[in-house]
Amino acid sequence: MSINVIVPKAGLTMTEATITTWLVSEGDIVKKDQPIVELMTEKMTVEVAAPEDGKIGAILKQEGEEVQVGETIAVLVPANQSVDKPNITIENTSSENTIQDEKTKNEFEYDVAVVGGGPGGYVAAIRASQLGGKVVLIEREQLGGVCLNSGCIPTKTLLSGVEFIKLAELSKEYGVFYNKPKIEFAKLIEKKESVVHTLRSGIEHLLKKNNVTVIKGMGTLMTPHQIEVKQNDETTSVIHVKNVILATGSETNAPNIPGLREANPMTNKEALSAAALPKSIAIIGAGAIG
């Protein structure tokens, strides 16, 4: 039984390519996943691999020829089968794929929808757009996720601030003395907010620069291609998408420690937005935030 080797869709908007180099010849024995031909698209070089073990029964397109996504460019036959081109059945699906591509363009509003605007989500959205896709990003809170807004960035900013206290201690070794330093906690929090705001603005700029549509609201996956979005202004809409990337992140889950809930514990969100420094504190968890 023969197997058609077709042009793969290697990018969101890829429709055609040019054959640059055949790495095999007719009659060659190949293994599954062995590269057999190189294609050049507008954005990248693509290697097409053999779908199964077998023999190259026929090469249908030559180097320098343009080919369409889904078009058959070679035929793979069992290794013990003699190469007889007239007996090879070639089922070319390029016209069918072209029709399907046109239907897709009309049916879907976006090539990719990313649900979640954290480090995974906004980077995925930017990359998908750079590959040529029409992309929408849905985020109910602030762009940047936990890392930027209530995790690594704000905690490291606070840490950088209080480390200035060490300078007064270390300078004594060099005979330089300062008055005992003190921390104005409200000012430290103000600096933290400034850093977070600057970086968040940077993300917004990158998304806009890369033509990513940002919707502030809650996204609910209704079907594999439909997302209901309840926006922060209470309006609701349904968007139709070809592909969905879920990058929803995580939320704090308080462990089942007797008496913990009654103590009204803070999560990282409350701790990093506190207006005053607690007189004493116990931190449960020793990860990057803790």
- pLDDT, one tens digit per residue, over 14-33 is 788 889 889 999 999 999 99
- Whether the CB-CB separation of 207 and 125 falls below 8 Å is answered with yes
pLDDT digits (tens, 9 = 90+) for 220-231: 999 989 999 998
Given a cut of 70, whether residue 181 has pLDDT beyond it is yes
Residues 81-90 as b or e (16 or more Cβ within 10 Å = b): eeeeeeebee
Band of pLDDT at residue 88, cut at 50, 70 and 90: very low
pLDDT above 90 coverage of the chain, percent: 47
At the fourth CATH level, the homologous superfamily of domain 110-272 is FAD/NAD(P)-binding domain (3.50.50.60)
Q: What is the pLDDT of residue 43?
A: 62
Which is it for the CA torsion 91, 132, 217, 267, positive or negative? Answer: positive
pLDDT of 204 above 90: yes
pLDDT computed for residue 145 by the predictor: 92
Residue 101 pLDDT more than 60?
Answer: no
Global pTM reads 0.59
Three-state DSSP class for residue 186 = helix
**Which of 92-101, 147-156, 246-255 has the weakest average pLDDT?**
92-101
Is the pLDDT at 98 greater than 70? The verdict is no
- Residue 288 is given by DSSP the state S
More confident residue, 11 or 269: 269
Binned at pLDDT 50, 70 and 90, residue 97 comes out as very low
Note whether 3-79 and 110-272 share their fold.
no
Q: What is the mean pLDDT of residues 247-275?
A: 86
Residues facing residue 29 across a β-bridge: 55
Over the chain, what is the mean pLDDT? 85
Rounded to an integer, the average pLDDT of 250-271 is 86
What local confidence, expressed as pLDDT, does residue 214 receive? 96
pLDDT at 12: 65
Rounded-to-integer distance, Cα 74 and Cα 89, Å: 11
- The class of domain 3-79 in CATH terms is mainly beta
Q: Tell me what the mean pLDDT of segment 56-77 comes to.
A: 90
Query: Taking residues 232-245, what's their average pLDDT?
Result: 91
Contact 31, 13 (CB under 8 A): no
In the prediction, which pLDDT does 257 show?
87
In the chain, DSSP assigns E strands to 3-6, 16-22, 29-30, 35-40, 45-49, 54-59, 66-68, 72-77, 110-115, 135-139, 213-223, 226-231, 236-246
Given a cut of 60, is residue 212 above it in pLDDT?
yes
The answer to whether residue 99 scores a pLDDT higher than 70 is no
- β-pairing verdict for 66-68 and 45-49: unpaired
Domain ranges of the chain: 3-79, 110-272
Question: 48: buried, middle or exposed (CB in 10 Å: 19+, 13-18, 0-12)?
Answer: buried
Question: Given this model, what pLDDT does residue 89 score?
Answer: 47
Return the pLDDT at 24.
Answer: 92
C-alpha of 37 from chain center: 28
Residue 6: per-residue pLDDT: 92
| pLDDT tens profile 120-156 | 999 999 999 999 999 999 999 999 999 899 988 999 9
